[in-house]
Structure 1
Amino acid sequence: MPNDLTPGVDPTTTPSGDGCVECLAGDGPGWWLHLRRCAACGHIGCCDSSPSQHATRHAHEAGHPYLTSFEPGESWFWNVETEQYDDGPQLPPPTSHPASQPTPGPLGKVPGDWERHLH
């Protein structure tokens, strides 16, 4: 990704919260495996392995091509249109969900047989 800030990346946007917006609002089973952050608007959604796959759905519906990891220690960018990893600018913190939040999460919502529900 060039340093002139590729369209679809806003290096000033902050995350929408600590968890998947749709899962926490009751859309789907209400839990996720990993979280992704929209690089255009900060929307936090669940990954494609999660039951509801809200992050990629948001990217396609909003026309926001770049997602970043919202997991501790990860800093990659993914282009949902080209299906390729990319480099990108540093985004404002927080850059991941709280370390106290379990993976999968959120606490109290993950079923005991969660692995059966992954994509």
Structure 2
Amino acid sequence: MITNEDSSTPAPEHPRHGSADSGSRQGWAVARDGGRPEGGVCTHLAAVVEPPDPGPREVCEECLALGREWVRLRWCTTCGNVGCCDSSRGQHAYGHHRRTGHPIVISLAPDESWAWCYADEVFLVEA
């Protein structure tokens, strides 16, 4: 059984970003970044789409094939690939970006509501 980061309980189900029960949403915007006072720009905002409902299978297939666990999962907004985060041993979401050039992932963690643009190196938040 694949578990969440404490490796003792199954990862919980969670509502999808922008689902009908999460309220209305105006879209996505670049998050404020204190390290970049001039601000950041994402040239890929139009590529941010919501995971389908029902959502993607919440496993990192590459980790699963290797018998590894992961910390958090990221969903590619271009093709729907699910990969593990940079804190996971495999860093498969980033590896997917390197191989494909797909720019944006959305966090699938139930306590996170953000996306990341690898190409522009900026966090995106729901506006």
- With structure 2 as the length reference, what TM-score do the two structures score? 0.55
Instruction: Report runs of 4+ in structure 1 exceeding 6 Å deviation.
Output: none
Whether 1:86 and 2:124 are equivalent positions in the alignment is yes
Report matched runs for 1:67-78 at 5 Å: 67-78=105-116
Q: Residue 9 of structure 1: which of 31, 37, 48 is its match?
A: 48
**Cα 1:22–1:16 shift into 2, 3 Å:** farther
Between the aligned partners of 1:49 and 1:38, the Cα distance in structure 2 is 17
**Structure 1 unmatched runs, 5+:** 90-119
Deviation at 1:76, TM superposition (A): 0.3
The 3 A distance-change label for structure 1 pair 43 and 37 is same
> Which one of the candidate residues 37, 41, 44 is aligned to 2:75?
37
Structure 1 segment 30-69 matched on structure 2, within 5 A = 30-69=68-107
Give the SS at the match of 1:60.
helix
For residue 30 of structure 1, report the CA deviation from its aligned partner. Answer: 1.4
- The percentage of counterpart residues that share the same residue type is 38
Could you tell me which amino acid in structure 2 is paired with residue 43 of structure 1? N
Report the counterpart of residue 23 of structure 1 in structure 2.
63
Shift of 1:87: 3.6
Structure 1 residue 6 displacement after superposition: 3.6
Give the TM-score of the pair, scaled to structure 1.
Answer: 0.59
How far does residue 10 in structure 1 lie from its aligned partner after superposition? 4.1
Aligned mates of 2:99, 2:46 — CA distance in 1: 16
| Displacement after TM superposition at 1:7 (Å) | 5.0
Report how many aligned residue pairs link the two structures. Answer: 85
For 1:77, what is the secondary structure of its paired residue?
strand
What root-mean-square deviation, in Å, do the aligned CA atoms of Structure 1 and Structure 2 show?
Answer: 2.5
CA distance in structure 2 between the partners assigned to 1:57 and 1:13 by the alignment: 22
Larger-Rg structure: 2
Please state how far the C-alpha of 1:68 moved relative to its aligned partner.
0.9
Alignment partners' CA distance in 2, 1:68 and 1:53 = 15
Aligned residue for 2:87, secondary structure, equals: coil
